[in-house]
Chain A
Amino acid sequence: MVTDSQQDIDPEAVAATKEITKLQELVYELKIADVMTTKVVTVLPTDSMATLKEVLRTNRISGTPVLDGSKLVGIISLENLIRALEMGEIDARVGDKMSSRVETLYADETIIQAVNKFAKLGYGRLPVVDRQGKLAGILTQGDIARGLLRRLEMDYREEEIHRYRASHIFQDIVSEQTSLILRYKVASKDFVRCGEAASKMKRALERLGAIPSVVRRVAVASYEAETNLAIHTSKGGELIAEIQPDRTRIIAVDTGPGIADVPQALEPGFSTAPDWIRELGFGAGMGLSNIKACADQMRLDSKVGVGTRLEIIINMEAPDKGLR
């Protein structure tokens, strides 16, 4: 019998190995300057230990470099402070209690050099200097972990955007007029899920490469239209986006109850929402005015007992139009 040992490989383990490799790569690639803290709290050698205590307490740190002018002359930690307290030397000068043999890192060194130095020395923090010996920042092991995580997240996001980028769809698919149609059902009185259709529509436009101001206008207009469907309809409705390369058309349709006085409904501040809905923060009577402010064209048709149809057109490039 032949067994295929390849079958035994756990795909999760493979993914983990890939992640470690990525991390190892970053450790050699990222510079100390990329992850260090540049806002460094320092003390003078002439400061008293009492001053140091306040500096450590107010900044919630456990140690700080000692600077004489711009020259790094030592480093002093909570441990030195505790020892001074035990000896009743709270008025002693920092210069007499600090350790003046300072281990430093260079800002242009890579993370791996810092990792090795931390491992060898067992210190909590190391001052970072430039090649002229001037203090450039301070580095803790926490800074390294945070820096690596931040970078991993950035890389991951970039990869994700790249993977899901759909902006080429209108170039790839050729017709006299190509449009992408998205349909969302909106339930009546469901204020927990309300906004999900608008979110999905927004994400779709982002992936299609729409400019941020257009995405915002579509997001606001579709959210308000979706909210109107949730608040006012008896059986819910449908939110439809028809996306074309030059414009997006948003249509909200329902089957009732319909609007009795359309011009009145368009007045800012006019609302028929009941109190319990207003208490949730909806029904300010600003929905349709918000939509109007975002739209390049808007049309509202309604008949009592039949239903309402709201059509919004937003041009894909019109930087001057919008809420402000």
Chain B
Amino acid sequence: MTLQEIAEKLDLTLESTGVPTEHEVTGGYASDMLSCVMARARKGNIWVTLQAHPNIVAVASLLELAGIIVTEGVHPDEGTVQKAWEESIPLFTSPRTTFSIVAQLSELGVQGAE
């Protein structure tokens, strides 16, 4: 399933507007601890988190993640969006909780990274 399809089905808002979202998503990972993401998330995964500071983009870029979903209506800092543009990382937001986003992803067949 492509990131674009996921974004439409989950009604996500793309904050880094214009960044391409047509690529395939290989799986998903959810955590707010960056080191856990570093250890576990795989290339092409979608990452669900509450964190919204610019370093999440650095993590996503280093791991070549498919994109980031920031949950619970948390608004990413200006610097985060700016960095997402620079690194071409799709950065989404949703008012829903991490739990319900993950549940919906799972329903769509997006598997965990393990």
Contacts and interface: CB of A to CB of B under 8 A. Distances in A.
Interface stretch (A26-34, A192-200, A232-240, A258-266): A192-200
A323 B63 contact: no
A217 B53 CA distance: 24
Interface of B: 32-36, 38-40, 43, 49, 51, 53-56, 58-59, 61-63, 79
Contacts of B63: 216, 219-220
Max chain B C-beta neighbours (<10 A), residue from A227, A281, A290: A281
A284 B35 contact: yes
Contacts of B40: 323
A254 interface: no
Interface in A280-308: 280-282, 284-287, 289-290, 293
Nearest to B43: A216
Interface of A is mostly: helix
A29 to B, nearest CB: 21
Given A220-B39, A224-B38, A290-B35, A191 B62 contact: no
Nearest to B32: A281
Interface in A175-219: 191-192, 194-196, 198-199, 202, 216, 219
Given A219-B63, A223-B59, A192 B33 contact: no
B8 to A, nearest CB: 9
A219 B60 CA distance: 11
Interface string A227-260: 1000000000000000000000000000000000
A219 B49 CA distance: 21
Interface residues of A, number: 25
Given A281-B32, A282-B34, A284-B34, A293 B39 contact: yes
A281 B61 CA distance: 17
Contacts of A192: 53-55, 79
Contacts of A280: 51, 53, 55
Contacts of B61: 195, 199
Nearest to B56: A281
B75 to A, nearest CB: 16
B81 to A, nearest CB: 13
A194 B55 contact: yes
A194 B38 CA distance: 14
A18 B8 CA distance: 37
